[in-house]
Amino acid sequence: MTKNMKKRMIRVSIGALLFFIAVVTEKIQLIKSENLILGIFLVSYFIIGGDVVKRAVRNIGTGQIFDENFLMTIATVGAFLVSEYPEAVAVMLFYQVGELFQDYAVHRSRKSIAELMDIRPDYANLIQNGEVVQKDPSDVEIGQIILVRPGERIPLDGVLTKGSTSLDTSALTGESLPRDVMMGSEVLSGCVNLTGAIEIRTTKEFGDSTVAKILELVENASSRKAQSEDFITKFARFYTPVVVISAALLAILPPLLTGADWKDWMYRALTFLVISCPCALVISVPLSFFGGLGGAGRSGILIKGGNYLEALSQAKTIVFDKTGTLTKGRFAVTKIVPHEIDPAQLLEVAAYAEYYSNHPIALSIREAYGKKIEESRIAEATEEAGYGVRILLDGKVILAGNSKMMSRENIGFQKEPGAKTVIHVAQNGVYAGHIQIEDEIREDAAEGIARLKKAGIRRMVMLTGDRHVQAMETAAKLGITEVYSQLLPGDKVDKMEEILKSEENKGKVIFVGDGMNDAPVLARADIGAAMGGIGSDAAIEAADLVIMNDSVSKLSTAIRISSKTIRIVKQNIVFAIGIKVFVLLLAAIGYASMWAAVFADVGVAVIAIINAMRAIGKVKD
């Protein structure tokens, strides 16, 4: 609870105590003087609602007449004029109680956003000439070495050059389990170093780092309003003057036309004003979106505005990029098939053959081998473009390459069906076996797609530049039936246009990608989702939401948060308008008192605010 909230609570409590004393005194006639009782009511009124009256007067002076402060002031002052003292103070008291509920709810929402803002680093330990100097992160240049001690937050993106440790990534990804990193690992700013001291070579300036981009996204998220928020803002702008004019006509016309009691119709008009205050709508709808954005952030999903949060609930189609999104974007050895040779020996021979190559396939084989290469064992090495490599290892001629190399050398080999990349190996002209290499599918990709189907996604499409056979095999494993392969970046945009205009498209379209070449498609889709951990800066910039841990299953979490938030917004709109219209009609015909007005205004607002606070909580996956 903030300091201002505590002060307001103390003030309202004192005023409420005086109000209670005045009511009891009036009921048991302890004080005979009506003026003294009026004085106690007035004192409690100004202690409780003096700030409301002050704001109303100030706003009138600036031309902003028709707001909730004006409605509360004119209604309560009017109640005093018709001698309804308890009702006048009660209306202001319960209005302030509603404001306290609102402040608490906003404080909770802001706190959930503020937790994300805690990732801002205060300093960087720059290593210069063997000494450690504390610098502002924005003063550290690319390529410099920084020291991060246990318990400190990593200030800039970089590569680990010394040491190993576990990182708390929860501020970025929403995941509670730490991530182990070692020399050569990429690390992101905003993570907390848990165990050992590490040294990092920076790869980005602070302004371009992950933490800076997240802070920018969080700060700007609430500025993009959803359609529901815009509707409520416009609604309140026209609604309030109409209500004030209607109340004035209700107070004046019946007595003038029928000779009815002025006091009775004045009371009805004041009750009408209290009921009509649009607090429940004006407060609870933006609060619901704010809470939804905060809840998504705590789950490791950064949504760039309420408009995108609302659009997510209308999504029926998701289009995926393949490499780096559904797959890890890196090759790995998946199968070793020896031919009259030990599997370990086949892998060793292949690793030595690929020693001098920097191709991703060569790197994956050496990584699978995992042992130190003794360069002295290699006498000759020749790379043959389009075929493979030839080396002389321990006096043996080793060939490692594709099927074309085996055919050219007249070596009988085992063909492998499917979309896998295959490296065939031969020793002294004799086939030794082959190694299968694939771009690994993300561990949670299949589960994530299953969750998306449960979340209401009806159509899933894969766009990729890969060969058709590879694309179809990946899609089959994940349960995606609509695949478009061998696409250039421009082709992907054209295909996205077709999907957006197709008759099968019954809602909003989400595109999920990670690479620089995905940026145009991310920008063209109704909602662009980028993988934030490994995604390119261009993709993150073009996207409307960023998944910080690169998990496909987080998409279903984002959709569930969106659906929950929109459901809460609709509940509040229907509930608030329904109750108000009903009690307004009762007030117009004289069947609703000022106490009923208090419930219709403050009671409805409090219930709507409490309901809106549910958007802050995490959703079940």
pLDDT tens-digit profile of 284-341?
777 788 788 878 877 888 888 888 888 999 999 999 988 778 888 778 888 899 998 9
Shared domain check, 206 and 232: no
Structural domain span for residue 428: 329-441
| Cross-strand bridge partners of residue 384 | 388
Shared domain check, 110 and 28: yes
Residue 249, pLDDT above cutoff 70: yes
Higher pLDDT, 177 or 495: 495
| Domain of residue 509, CATH code | 3.40.50.1000
**How many Å apart are CA 539 and CA 531, to the nearest integer?**
8
* Whether residue 537 lies in the annotated active site: no
* 250 belongs to a structural domain: yes
Q: Provide the pLDDT confidence category of residue 357 given band limits of 50, 70 and 90.
A: confident
Shared domain check, 426 and 372: yes
Q: Name the burial class of residue 554, with classes exposed (0-12), middle (13-18) and buried (19+) by CB atoms within 10 angstroms of its CB.
A: buried
DSSP state of 438: E
Shared domain check, 104 and 234: yes
Single out the residue in 171, 200, 219 at which a domain terminates.
Answer: 219
Domain total of the chain: 4
Residue 101, pLDDT above cutoff 60: yes
Average pLDDT estimate for 155-179: 78
Beta-sheet strand order (sheet of 179-181) = 179-181, 165-168, 192-193
* 550 belongs to a structural domain: no
Instruction: Calculate what percentage of the chain has a pLDDT beyond 90.
Output: 22
* 298 belongs to a structural domain: no
Q: Provide the pLDDT confidence category of residue 159 given band limits of 50, 70 and 90.
A: very high
Residue 428, pLDDT above cutoff 90: yes
What is the per-residue pLDDT for 146? 94
* 549 belongs to a structural domain: no
| Cross-strand bridge partners of residue 437 | 333, 421
What is the per-residue pLDDT for 143? 93
Residue found by looking up tokens 């109000």 in the block: 19
* 299 belongs to a structural domain: no
387 near 405, Cβ under 8 Å?
yes
What count of other Cβ atoms lies within 10 Å of the Cβ of residue 591?
Answer: 11
Q: Which of 321, 466, 544, 601 is catalytic?
A: 321
* 484 belongs to a structural domain: yes
Per-chain mean pLDDT for the chain: 82
Helices H / strands E in the chain, number of each = 21, 22
* 300 belongs to a structural domain: no
**How many Å apart are CA 155 and CA 211, to the nearest integer?**
8
Instruction: Calculate what percentage of the chain has a pLDDT beyond 70.
Output: 87
Average pLDDT estimate for 211-231: 61
What is the per-residue pLDDT for 344? 93
Higher pLDDT, 426 or 502: 426
Average pLDDT estimate for 577-584: 83
Shared domain check, 107 and 230: yes
Higher pLDDT, 536 or 389: 389
Shared domain check, 143 and 95: no
Shared domain check, 468 and 455: yes
What is the per-residue pLDDT for 217? 58
Q: Provide the pLDDT confidence category of residue 616 given band limits of 50, 70 and 90.
A: confident
What is the per-residue pLDDT for 72? 76
Average pLDDT estimate for 189-198: 86
Shared domain check, 446 and 321: yes
Residue-wise pLDDT for 397-413, tens only, equals: 999 998 889 999 999 98
Single out the residue in 171, 193, 219 at which a domain terminates.
Answer: 219
**pTM to 2 decimals?**
0.69
